Structure 1
């Protein structure tokens, strides 16, 4: 697939007006306040056998949106001679999974724990059936009008939308990991690709004391343009829905404006590391550039940030090459 978005020189200065709703901040302040009122984030943490000798894992449940139980895997590197769960003061990576994927099995995602970080992998509520090894978190609030896919559940009203719930879960996951043993609460990092990248970016905009955000091929960035360009994946689900419900466009665009990644990016404080494939037809690269170029616009902060573009790659971006860049960057950031 040839490059189909803006030329690289235009991407580098792409700073679109995203039509942010006037009550964006109030909407999220109220949403997160309601979630916090449900009680302490951490519900339970139970050690599990993972078949690994160098990693120990816990099955974690925390309170997400509306106090709903959200599942996660929490893993720590097992150090020679240590007793299970005794590591102290370790930086933590909270990882968010891609669209349609659940948390899977505890031995699937080992990069961050092998790099020496505590690792929390959040389950995606109401997802997990498209690829991977499944999920364990239902979405009990999915009855609002909309299509069957997560991207269109509750699309006609901001308070009903699936991503209002999932983003709230993502923020609460940070609070949960800070309550777990072995974690330095001042060094918590949000990481994700695709949908997970969109969630990591939202967390960067909603959690002011996050240590860093690593965002790759983010969904929910530059949404208006993405709907014009992409006809596969989550954006394709939205356009397919609107092709049937021809009078719903205005309501849908209003709802989507409350989960726009560029709006979250403008409110971020944390150092940020971005990755993007310039031939990405699932999450068009102009969205990632828009978020990167407007990152920290409203905060007065000047955090360290960098973006790595892969001209001949699509949604896979830099793949393992980019992960190595993430590892080097994060080690340098947290150990300096």
Structure 2
């Protein structure tokens, strides 16, 4: 156990170097203003579902630039009071999944909005990218911060909060954001760019301390960026500049809500040190769950129980 303790103590002291550009705040202020001026145009349709105690609905809202974003919108049936709500984001290459996987939250009285990120699941991607050479989301628009895929994704996620705040059945003061891997990264982005969430749960989040993560990872979406740069070394500085706007090292200090991280010390996709680097920069109330023998997976029963306890305590 001593070597594990030494590792964790080292991670607790790691402070990453900021790569923030001078126009970082102006870029995000402009993005948020542009997003707020676009019509949400949400549609809701009820779906039949075998579990009759739950109201299952399909939501489509207009994401950033008009891309239709699809989501499950789930409510405990016959709720008489305004509901706290959990906003879920999935991992890279995944989707919002089955309605059934959210039952543990619905039976406790939470509403759920589970979103398909653009280009995933049922959500399309209407954005135009001048650089889209690898066929994968992480490099779409990577030569221009205004075009970059994750700009669209982060703004789509903020618009999910916009949708929830239009719903009379939702308690807008009790919205939590939760996700793992890419979903964990989106969770951190929403918490940094929007002050409406009350809490954020980010398991093994991506887009953390990207220069270090590029060095330490062995699998995952950043390997696609690495492959792109291997073929185009002359674009390295340009790519790193774009990524700096989406790196949570440069967003972490904007997070004001209570935040819970989780990392696996054997994660080779989203390594623990970059996550700790972001965590160490957050000034809001925060906590970290560490799993010494886990990789890029937080599906253990003990972790699920800890997440249930955390959300029950703070939302």
- Give the TM-score range, shorter chain: over 0.9
1:201 touches 1:215 (CA, 8 Å); kept in 2?
yes
Partner of 2:25: 25
For the residues of structure 1 that align with 2:105 and 2:282, how far apart are their CA atoms?
A: 25
For the residues of structure 2 that align with 1:317 and 1:103, how far apart are their CA atoms?
A: 17
2:185 touches 2:208 (CA, 8 Å); kept in 1?
yes
Partner of 1:54: 53
For the residues of structure 1 that align with 2:22 and 2:307, how far apart are their CA atoms?
A: 35
For the residues of structure 2 that align with 1:277 and 1:33, how far apart are their CA atoms?
A: 37
2:66 touches 2:126 (CA, 8 Å); kept in 1?
no
Residues 310 and 42 of structure 1, relative CA distance in 2, 3 Å threshold:
farther
Matched residue of 2:314: which SS? helix
**Which of 275, 278, 281 lines up with 2:262 in the alignment?**
275
1:216 touches 1:276 (CA, 8 Å); kept in 2?
yes
2:67 touches 2:124 (CA, 8 Å); kept in 1?
no
For the residues of structure 1 that align with 2:213 and 2:166, how far apart are their CA atoms?
A: 37
2:195 touches 2:256 (CA, 8 Å); kept in 1?
yes
For the residues of structure 1 that align with 2:169 and 2:282, how far apart are their CA atoms?
A: 31
For the residues of structure 1 that align with 2:41 and 2:104, how far apart are their CA atoms?
A: 24
Q: Which ranges of structure 2 fall in alignment gaps of 5 or more residues? A: none
Aligned ranges 1:232-243 → 2 under 5 Å: 232-243=219-230
Partner of 1:304: 285
1:276 touches 1:318 (CA, 8 Å); kept in 2?
no
Q: Does 1:212 align with 2:220?
A: no
Residues 87 and 28 of structure 1, relative CA distance in 2, 3 Å threshold:
farther
1:218 touches 1:287 (CA, 8 Å); kept in 2?
no
Partner of 1:327: 308
1:233 deviates by: 1.0
1:156 deviates by: 1.0
**Which of 174, 177, 182 lines up with 2:169 in the alignment?**
182
1:199 deviates by: 0.3
1:166 deviates by: 0.5
Q: Does 1:266 align with 2:253?
A: yes
1:315 deviates by: 0.6
**Which of 133, 145, 152 lines up with 2:139 in the alignment?**
152
For the residues of structure 2 that align with 1:289 and 1:188, how far apart are their CA atoms?
A: 25
Structure 1 stretches of 4+ moved >4 Å: none
Q: Deviations over 1:308-332 (max 9, x none)?
A: 1000100114633222111111111
1:42 deviates by: 4.9
Q: Does 1:143 align with 2:136?
A: no
Partner of 1:125: 118
For the residues of structure 2 that align with 1:144 and 1:103, how far apart are their CA atoms?
A: 28
For the residues of structure 2 that align with 1:115 and 1:244, how far apart are their CA atoms?
A: 51
Residues 285 and 178 of structure 1, relative CA distance in 2, 3 Å threshold:
same
Q: Deviations over 1:181-225 (max 9, x none)?
A: 421011111100000000000000011132000111000001100
Compute the RMSD of aligned alpha carbons. Answer: 1.8
So what's the TM-score if we normalise by structure 1?
0.88
1:144 deviates by: 2.1
Residues 109 and 245 of structure 1, relative CA distance in 2, 3 Å threshold:
farther
Partner of 2:281: 294
Residues 319 and 181 of structure 1, relative CA distance in 2, 3 Å threshold:
farther
So what's the TM-score if we normalise by structure 2?
0.93
1:104 deviates by: 3.6
2:74 touches 2:111 (CA, 8 Å); kept in 1?
yes
Q: Deviations over 1:81-118 (max 9, x none)?
A: x3xxx543111000111101122443344332233210
1:231 touches 1:239 (CA, 8 Å); kept in 2?
no
Partner of 1:11: 11
Aligned ranges 1:195-206 → 2 under 5 Å: 195-206=182-193
